Structure formats: structure tokens, C-alpha cells
Amino acid sequence: MSSTIASAGAAPAGSLTQGHKKVIFASSLGTVFEWYDFYLYGSLAAIIAKQFFSGVNETTGFIFALLAFAAGFAVRPFGALVFGRLGDMIGRKYTFLVTIVIMGISTFLVGVLPSYASIGITAPIILIVLRMLQGLALGGEYGGAATYVAEHAPNGKRGLYTSFIQTTATIGLLLSLVVILGVRESIGVQAFEAWGWRIPFLVSIVLLGVSVWIRMQLAESPLFQQMKAEGKTSKAPLTESFFSKNGRIVLLALLGATAGQAVVWYAGQFYAMYFLSQSLKVDSTTTWLLIGGALILGTPFFVFFGWLSDRIGRKKIVMAGCLIAALTYFPLFKALTHYANPAIAEASASAPAVVTADPATCSFQFDPVGKKQFTSSCDIATAALAKAGVPYTVQPAAVGAIASVSIGSVPVASYEATGLPKDVSKAHGEAFTGALKAALERGGYPAQADPERINKPMVLLILTVLVIYVTMVYGPIAAWLVELFPTRIRYTSMSLPYHIGNGWFGGFLPTISFALVAATGNIYYGLWYPIVIALITFVIGSLFLRETYRVDITE
């Protein structure tokens, strides 16, 4: 094996051997594959909703698909605890070798999982279990990879070298989009939606083999080897990380760094993708191409801001990213509408959509565990309009009244599904959806964005700006987290705030934002969630977290 690669301890101070550059490349490449596995689901959420949640209406199915996506994020902190503890006790190398095996097998199994039509409710249950296994694996992966690379990097270059790990999430997302587009274009849209969507998941078994081979070549972190040789490894990393003075730093790292970083990351990449495809009705191929183009243009900035953080500090760049994003999200997303689908604003002005309903029957449609179904006539009407990307207002009706929708002067009655048998509810749903679709067409609301009216250069520019915000907050974050904590508990201490921030604050962003839009009728209202979280992080991080770029982690 190549475990004979020179350890950092053998290198001259402040230098990085060629062998260590190979280690960093190998670690980063393996992490790309793991992110590829994780984000396939998010990229194919609309198709997966039809395959595994077809037992409910289309809108509810899409919400459930988003919740299943979020389930993978929800369990990431638990993966951070389990694998972080193992990484601090037995080593970095073997711990994140295990995580990549769990991730690869879980992703492959999604590709062979029978649909709802074949095995009924068992299908979505197994899907959610596999998503949770993916989340557990990723919870252990990132902290291990970031710690491993940081402990090989010399002082003064830690931001630069860990920034390559930071590119892996975006490159993994880009790789998933490339594979999806390649398969879809080669076999056709109908075949892809019927069965071809499984191919990108099945390909992951090949990536798993490559990743395991790469990980087997790696040596253990030199700092961990030295600490183990000196008998200084932690016997209780969970206790030392969270139930000591270090616990305060963990909490500050969560609220003052990773929470804001997470919402800016997901708003700039995933929410932008959902907004284009779901709210603005840009066809999926164009959406993926534009997002992919923005990722290609923006990805080098991860390295740039990592390099810059070695010179001016991590904190300044992350805080600036949070603040600038919070201040500009509304104009940027409104500009997306103007350049991608201006017909929405035009139709809203000429034929405004109004929901008339008993306010008591209108819910905030967010349920993180997916147990509640929103079956009131108001919830059905507002969810359908939100999913169609139609701005609307809500007017109060008499107590107990069935909700109705008016598109200009055309009324459409909603229906009360509470207590109805599934087949009856489905029939009512199809009738309501058909009538609403016809009314929207008469009102000028586009079922799809007109390709001739999409200003692709401007949309690409806006998406690239959003990705650059992502690189500002994400490029320096690994180095910052690594430097906040001592070697003996570093894996555990940095993993938990990172994965609570990204798994909970970030992972639930699409679902919370969709619920906010459905509750208000304002297609931009979902942006308040990332804006508020980013501003909270800016205040807490600016006031209470220390700068670390001059810290020597070998001491």
C-alpha cells in the first residue's frame, strides 16, 4: 500500500511534500464521490416524488419528497457524533473509509428499490431509511476529510489546502447534474423518467470502488499518529467536546459560523435550482445547464477565498458573505424572475390569484417528520398555487366555508379532503388540478417558461453571483473550524456544529421556504428564512468568535 507516503512530520516546517499533495487530492476526490451520491436525490426530487410518493396528490408528493431529502440532513449530526468519536479514538483514515462504503451502498440500493406502484408504502419507507443511512455516513465523512487534510497542511496554507475539500460538495453536485443530463439526453425524457433515473444511482457502485481503492492508499494523519504515540488520544471525546468549556465554542461555532454558512450554501445552489424549476417553471434541462454553468464559473472562488483567508483571516470573509447575501437575496431572486419567466409577473398583474378561505383552515405546511397531511381545502388550494409558482393573496371567508380560488374573474372551487378515502380524494384532486390548470392558462400563467423569453446570460450571471456568495462562506469554513478545536477532540468537536448547521439549518431550507411561500402566496417570502439565519450568524460570529488563521495546530 501507499501508506508509506511521507508523514507531515518528516517534511520541513512550512512545506508540503509531493506525497502529501497526493494525499490531499485523494481525500478530496473521495469526498467528491460521496457528495455525488448524496445530491443525486436532491437533483431528482421531482421524479422521485412520482416514483415513491404516487399514493398522494402531486403537490403533497413533492413536499414528501423534499422531506425525505431533508431526512438525510436531519440525521447528519448523529453521524457526526458516532463517527467523530471513532475518528478521535481510533483514527481519521479508517473512520472515513467506513463512511464512504455506507454511502455508496445506500445510494446503489436506491437505484434498485422498487417503486410505490410495485410494493406500496414499503417503497417510501425503505427510501427514507436509505436516505438516513446516507445522512449518517455524510455526518462522519466531512469532519474526517477536513481534519485529515488540515492536519497534513503546513501553517499559513491551511485555508488554501482545505479549500479543495470545500470544492467537493459543489463538484459532487455538478457531477450528479452531468451524469443525469448525459443519461437523460442519451435515452430520452420519457425513458429517463420511467426507469433511466436509476442509472445515476447504479453508477455510484463504480465510484464506490474507486473511492475505496483511493482511501486504502492513504496514511493516517501525522498529528493523530504523533498524539497516539504519545498516549494523548481522548478516551471520552464526546464528554470533552460538549460537556466542558469546549462546549461553549461548539455552540458559538454553530450559531456564529455554520448556521449562516449553511443557509447561504443551500440558498445559492439548491434553493436557486428549486426556484427556477418549481416557481419559475424553467424546464429541467435548462435549469441544470444554467446551474451547472454557474457552478463551473464559481467553483474556483472556493480556492481563492481559502487562499485569501490565509492572508486576511477566515472570520472576515465568512461574515462578509453572510451579510452581503442577506442584503441582496430579494433583488437577485426578483431579477431571476424578470429574466427567466417575466410572464408570471405579467399574468399576476392582469389576472391576480386570490384564495378565499376560512383562516382557521389554513396551516403552515411544514412537518419535518412527514407524519401530517395537509388536507383542508385552504391547504390544498395554497399548496397547488405555490407549487405552480403563482403569486396569490388570501382573503378571509366565513367560518367553515370551503376554500375557493379566483384567477382574475374565473373561480375554481377547492375541496375538503380530511377524512375522505384515498381514491375519492385522488379523484377530487385530479378534478381540482385540471380546473385550476385551465383557469391559470386563461389567466396567462405559463405552464412552462417560454424558452424564447429566458435571458440565459443574465440568469447565468445571477446564479454565478449566488455561487460566489457560497464560496465566500464555505471556502474558509473548514480551516476555521479545524483551528477552533484541539487535535485530541477535533474530529468530534468540528463535526457536530458543521452538521447541525448544514444538516438542520441548511437541509430544511427548501421545505421551510416552500411552506412560507404556501402560507403567504409571495414566491419570494421563503427567502426570509436564509436571510434571518445569515444575519443572526453575522451578529454572533462578529461579536463572539475569534479569528484563528494565525493559530499553529501542531502545538
Inside any domain, residue 549: no
Give residue 354's pLDDT. Answer: 94
414: confidence class by pLDDT, cuts 50, 70, 90? very high
Within-domain flag for 91 = yes
pLDDT for the residue numbered 256: 96
Residue 501, domain member (yes or no): yes
pTM for the whole structure: 0.81
Q: Which of 50-54, 119-123, 323-327, 421-425 has the highest mean pLDDT?
A: 323-327
Least confident of 24-38, 168-182, 227-241, 498-512: 227-241
Quick one: which of 73, 80, 195 has its CA closest to 128? Answer: 73
The dihedral sign for the CA sequence 455, 456, 458, 459:
positive
Same domain (yes/no): 90, 217: yes
The better pLDDT of the pair 311, 17 is held by 311
Residue 460 in any domain: the answer is yes
485 and 537 share one domain: yes
pLDDT tens for each residue of 82-116: 877 776 666 666 777 788 888 888 889 989 999 88
Query: What is the distance, to the nearest Å, from the Cα of residue 409 to the centroid of all Cα atoms in its chain?
Result: 40
**Residue 171 near residue 118 (C-beta atoms within 8 A):** no
Whether 271 contacts 509, CB under 8 Å: yes
pLDDT at 6 over 60: no
Cα pseudo-dihedral 368, 372, 377, 382, rounded to 10: 10
Domain stops at, among 403, 421, 442: 442
What's the domain count of the chain?
2
CA distances from 354 to 346, 383, 448 (A): 16, 13, 21
392 and 471 in one domain? no
Query: What is the rounded distance in angstroms from the CA atom of residue 229 to the CA atom of residue 513?
Result: 50
Give 58 or 85, the one with higher predicted confidence: 85
- Of 313-317, 321-325, 359-363, the one with minimum mean pLDDT is 359-363
Nearest in space to 354 (alpha carbons), one of 416, 415, 403, 387? 403
457: containing domain: 18-229+236-340+452-544
* pLDDT value at residue 183: 92
Does 487 map to a domain? Answer: yes
Amino acid 302 reads F
User: What is the per-residue pLDDT for 474?
Assistant: 93
Q: Do 322 and 359 fall into the same domain? A: no
Higher pLDDT, 534 or 233: 534
Task: Tell me the CA distances in angstroms from 109 to 37, 44, 113, 238, 521, one per residue in order.
Answer: 11, 15, 6, 32, 38
Half-sphere exposure of 317 (CA within 13 A, CB side): 30
Neighbours of 347 (CB within 10 A): 22
| Chain position carrying cell 447504479 | 202
Do 375 and 305 lie in one domain? The reply is no
Residues 173 and 210 in one domain: yes
Domain shared by 295 and 379, yes or no? no
The mean-pLDDT minimum among 39-48, 99-108, 200-209, 399-408 falls in 39-48
CA 456, 457, 461, 464 dihedral sign is: positive
Residue 494 Cα distances to 50, 81, 267, 334, 479, angstroms: 38, 10, 23, 36, 10
Name the pLDDT band for 231 (thresholds 50, 70, 90): low
Instruction: Answer yes or no: is pLDDT of 45 > 80.
Output: no
- Local confidence band at 500 (pLDDT 50, 70, 90 cut-offs): confident
- pLDDT on residue 176: 86
Query: Are 83 and 146 in the same domain?
Result: yes
Do residues 75 and 136 lie in contact, with contact meaning Cβ atoms separated by under 8 Å? yes
Q: Do residues 78 and 192 share a domain?
A: yes
Note the residue count of the chain: 555
- CA-derived radius of gyration, the chain: 24
Single out the residue in 442, 466, 496 at which a domain terminates: 442
| DSSP letter for each residue of 434-461 | HHHHHHHHHTT--SS--GGG--HHHHHH
Residue 3 pLDDT more than 50?
A: no
Q: Is residue 414 part of a domain?
A: yes
Structural domain includes residue 1: no
**Residue that finishes a domain, picked among 390, 411, 442:** 442
Q: Is pLDDT larger for residue 416 or for residue 99?
A: 416
Residues 183, 304 within the same domain? yes
Which CATH number is 136's domain given?
1.20.1250.20
Distance CA 165, CA 390 (A): 39
- Looking at mean pLDDT, say which of 271-285, 305-319, 384-398, 416-430 comes out highest: 305-319
Up-side HSE of residue 536: CA atoms within 13 Å toward CB? Answer: 17
**Average pLDDT, rounded, for the chain:** 83
Q: Is residue 461 scored above 70 in pLDDT?
A: yes
d(CA 72, CA 107): 12
Q: b or e along 175-209 (b: 16 or more beta carbons within 10 Å of the residue's beta carbon)?
A: bbbebbbebbeeeeeeebbeebbbbbbebbeebbe
- What is the three-class DSSP state of 407? strand
Output DSSP code: residue 406.
Answer: E
Residue 204 in any domain: the answer is yes
pLDDT over 80 at 143, yes or no:
no
pLDDT > 70 in the chain, percent: 85
- Looking at the DSSP bridge assignments, the partners of residue 411 are 406
C-alpha cell at 98: 467506513
Confidence class for position 222, pLDDT limits 50, 70, 90: low
- CA angle (82, 208, 303) in 5-degree steps: 80
Q: Does 539 share its domain with 390?
A: no
Helix (H) or strand (E) holding 17: none
15 burial class (0-12, 13-18, 19+ CB within 10 angstroms)?
exposed
Cα dihedral sign for 319, 322, 325, 326?
Answer: negative
CATH number of the domain at 358, please.
3.40.30
Does one domain contain both 320 and 361? no
Q: Can you tell me which residue has the cell 485523494?
A: 26
